[in-house]
Chain A
Amino acid sequence: MEAVDVSRALGTGRFSGASAAFAASASATTLTAWVRLAQSMLADLTWPPSTASTGNAVTYVLAHRGDHDAVLERLSTCSAVTTLGERTARPKYAEWWDMRRLYGFSEDHWSRQHGARRDVRVAVCLATDLIWLGYSDGLLAARNVVRLPLELDCRAFGATLHTWAIEDYPALAVALGAALTNLGGQAMPCIAFEAVLTELLLPHVVDDADSVAKEQVARAAKRCSQRIIAMLAASDDPPLTGPQVAGSILEVVGEEIPSLHVRQRIDPILDFERAAARLVSQALTDPGELPQVESALNQLARGVLI
C-alpha cells in the first residue's frame, strides 16, 4: 500500500484532494479505501461525522466479537452507502455517540468546540483499528497453536506490531500516534491494541477467576498500548523496533503487575540464555571463579542439549 502522510494532515488540519480521496473510498473495497476515508476526514474538519464513520464503529465492535462474516457484510454496506451525496446527510448522532463512548469520551467532552477535530481523530483510530484487525486475529490464532512463555508472547506481539507499523502501514501508525497523543494533553485509548494485549497477557495469570489479577492485566494492557502509541508518535520515521515494543511491554507489565503470577512454563533456551549470561558475567568480573563457572556452564549445556 502506498504510504500516506496522514500525520501532516492531523497537524495542519488541511489536506488537499479530499473529495477525490473520499470518492475513491466510496467505491473501493480494499483497505486502501479505509485509509483514504481517514485521509478525507482529516482533510475536511468541518465535515460532520457520516454514516460511514458510524458504520466503521459498528464494524469494529462486530469484529471484536469475532463475527467476521458480519464484519465483511457491514463493510460492503458501508462502501455502498458512502457516497458523496451523503456527505451532507444529517449524521446519526445516536450511533456516533456510541462510537465516541467506545473511545472513552463523556458527553461534556464532545459538546466542546473542538468536536470536529476530535471526530477526525476518532475516524483515524477506527481506520487503523480496522486494519489492525487482521493482524490481531492472526497473532491470537497462531498463539493458540503454540503456547509460549509470557516473554515470547510479548516478543511475538512486538514482531507483529513492527510488521504492521513499520513495514505495511507506517503512515497510519504515525497518524494513530498523533491522533492518540495530541489531544490537548488528553490521551485517547487504543482499544484494539489493548484488547490484543489483554488476550495475550491473561493466560499467563495463574487463576483465571481472579478478578483483581484481571483488572491488573487490563490496566497493564492500557498502559502498554499508550506507551507503544507514544513511541509511534515520536517522529515521522518511527524508531520503533520489535525488541523495543516487547521491551516496553515487559517493563510495564513488571511495573504494573508486580504480583502477576506468570505460569512456570520456562522455556529451556531462554532459561539457558539467562543463566549462562549470569555465569559469564560472574567469570568476567572475577576470573578466579572460572573453574566453577565452567563446570556450571557445562551442566547447563547438558541440560539443554538432552
Chain B
Amino acid sequence: MGADIDTARRRAVLSRIRMLRKQRETQLARVVLEWADSSWGSIEPETPANDSPAALLREHARVERAYLLMRQLDGTGYGDALKTLESVENSVLGKLHNVSRSSVRLVNLKPAPSLTGIRKYRVLSSVATAYSTCGDERAADRVIESVLGRPFPATPEGADEIVRRLGKLRSADLFSDHATRLTRRAYVDLLGATPDSFAQAADLLARARVAADISSGLRETKAGVLLARTVSARVTMESVALEPDRDRRVDMLTSLVTETKSILAESTASPYIFPVTVMLRQSLHGEVMIELARYLRGHERPDTARLGRVCVAPRLTVNEIDADYKPAVSICYADACAMSGEQERARTVWERTRRQMARARPNADLALAALDRRLTHGLPDTD
C-alpha cells in the first residue's frame, strides 16, 4: 500500500511537470523535476516490477525528461533526448540495447518488455509523438508500427481492427497524430520543390487525408470535432501546393480561410479550450492566409500576408522563449515578411531559422536547401 501511495504521489508530481511543460513553462517544469529528483533520488522508481504502475510511471517520466532536454534553447539537448526516447522504446519493447551479438549468443540477455497491453501502447504512443517533435519522423513511424504489428493502415477498412483494440478515443488520437506527422513530412518534401519530392509529398498527403478522415469520424465531443477539423485543415493547406491550376488553388485557400476562421471563433468561445490551443489555431489561420497571399496579386498580396503574419507572430514569440522548435512557423512568418515588403526582417528570420535548423535538425537537407535558396534568390515565384 505504501508503495502504491508513493507511486500515486509521484504520478501527481509528474502530471504537474507535464502540465507545466505543455503550458510552455519549461523552466518551472525543470524546477519541479529537480525538486522531485532531490526528494526521491529520482522521480522514476528504481527497478519497478514489469507491467506495474511504477513501471508505467518510470517510462512516462523518462519521456518527460526527453521533452525537457529537447527544449534547451541552444539546441544541444536533441541528441540526449533521442537517446532517452530510444532507451524507453527498447525497454518497453524488450529490445536489446548496447549489447553485442556475441554476448546474446552466450547468455540469453533479451530483457522482458517493461510494459504490456494498453500500457505499452500508451507509452509507445507518447514516444512516437516525442520522436516526431524531436524531428525524427522515421523513428516515430517505427514505434507506431511496432505497436500495431504492421504498417499504418492506408485505407479506412484497415482502421476497424485498431478501433476494436484501442477504443474510439485512443484510436482517434492515434490517427490524428499520424495525420499530423505525415503532413509535417509532406511539408518538408514540398519545400524541396523537385519532381521526386512532390511525388513523395502527394503520397504522404493522400495517406494523411485518410488518417484525418478516420480520426474525424471517431470524434464525438465538440472539442474533439474541432481538433479533427484543425488536423484536416492542415492537410488541405499542404495539399494546395499539389493542385496544378492557380485559380483552383486560390479557391481552395479562400474556402480554407473561412474554415480556419470558424475553427478559431468556436475555439475561442469554448471554456474547455485553453488560450495556448487558441493561439495555435490562430497561427494555423495565419499560415493559411500567408499561403493564400502567395497566389494573390496587387495590393491584396501584402495586405493578406501582413494579416497572416500578425496571426502567426504570437506563436513565434512563445516559441522563441520556451516551446518546442517549429521551423515551419518561422519560415512561414519570414515568407510573409518578404511578401509584405519587409525584406530585411524576412532575411533575419530566414538566417536565424537556418542557424537553428543546422544545429537542431542537421539531417533536414531539403529544408536547409530551401532556406539557402531563399537567402540567395529571395522568395520562390509562385507563377
Contacts and interface: CB of A to CB of B under 8 A. Distances in A.
A215 interface: no
B25 interface: yes
Given A75-B1, A155-B19, A243-B274, A136 B317 contact: no
A277 B313 CA distance: 11
Nearest to A235: B220
Interface stretch (B3-11, B91-99, B176-184, B231-239): B3-11
Interface string B1-41: 11111111111111111111001110010011001100000
Could you say which interface size class chain A belongs to? Answer: 35 or more
B205 to A, nearest CB: 28
A55 to B, nearest CB: 12
A284 B17 CA distance: 35
A139 B15 CA distance: 8
Contact of A247 (B23, B32, B221, B271): B271
B169 A237 contact: yes
Contact of A239 (B221, B279, B303, B310): B221
Contacts of A247: 270-274
Interface stretch (A40-48, A118-126, A201-209, A286-294): A286-294
Given A75-B1, A270-B275, A283-B310, A159 B16 contact: yes
Contact of B311 (A76, A168, A284): A284
27 contacts: A72-B1, A134-B9, A134-B11, A135-B9, A135-B12, A138-B9, A145-B31, A146-B31, A152-B25, A155-B19, A158-B19, A159-B15, A159-B19, A160-B11, A163-B14, A164-B11, A243-B273, A244-B272, A247-B272, A269-B23, A273-B275, A274-B275, A284-B264, A294-B306, A294-B309, A294-B310, A304-B321
B122 interface: yes
A134 B7 contact: yes
Given A241-B272, A283-B310, A137 B318 contact: no
Contact of A297 (B35, B285, B314): B314
B320 interface: yes
A159 B18 contact: yes
Nearest to B18: A159
Interface in B310-342: 310-311, 313-314, 317-318, 320-322
Nearest to B271: A247
A204 B19 CA distance: 19
Contacts of A244: 223, 272
A68 B264 CA distance: 48
Contacts of B53: 1, 168
Given A160-B12, A293-B310, 19 more contacts: A71-B5, A72-B1, A72-B2, A138-B12, A138-B13, A139-B12, A146-B32, A148-B28, A155-B19, A237-B168, A246-B274, A247-B273, A269-B318, A273-B278, A280-B311, A290-B310, A294-B309, A304-B318, A304-B321
A19 interface: no
Top-6 shortest CB links A-B: A134-B8, A138-B12, A138-B9, A276-B314, A134-B5, A159-B19
Given A29-B1, A269-B25, A277 B279 contact: yes
Interface residues of A: mostly helix, strand, loop or mixed?
A: helix
Interface in B167-192: 167-169
Contacts of B320: 305
A269 B318 CA distance: 8
A284 B307 CA distance: 7
A280 B310 CA distance: 7
A142 B1 contact: no
B261 interface: yes
A68 B2 CA distance: 9
B276 interface: yes
A91 interface: no
A141 interface: yes
A301 B167 CA distance: 42
Interface in B277-298: 277-279, 282, 285
Contacts of A72: 1-2
